[in-house]
Structure 1
Amino acid sequence: MNAQAPHRQRKSWIIWSLVTMGLALFVGANAHLAYVAFASQPDCVSHSKGSGEAHDYRAAKSAC
Structure 2
Amino acid sequence: MARRRINGKVLWLGLAAALAALLILANAHLVYVAIGSQPECVPHAKSAGEAGKFRAARAVC
Residue 7 of structure 2 aligns to a residue whose secondary structure is helix
- 1:51 is displaced (CA, Å) by 2.2
In 2, Cα distance between equivalents of 1:44 and 1:62: 9
TM-score, structure 2 normalization: 0.76
* 1:9-60 deviation line (CA, Å, top 9, x unaligned): 710000010001001000100000000000011110011224247x753221
Q: Give the TM-score taking structure 1 as reference length.
A: 0.73
Q: What aligned pairs does 1:1-40 form with structure 2 within 5 A after superposition?
A: 10-40=7-37
**Structure 1 counterpart of 2:7, which letter?**
R
Q: Which has the higher helix share?
A: 1
Identity within the alignment, %? 43
Which blocks of at least 5 consecutive residues in structure 2 are unaligned?
Answer: none
1:50 touches 1:56 (CA, 8 Å); kept in 2? Answer: no
CA RMSD of aligned residues (A): 2.1
One of 46, 49, 59 as aligned partner of 1:49:
46
Q: Figure out how many residues of one structure are paired with residues of the other and give that number.
A: 57
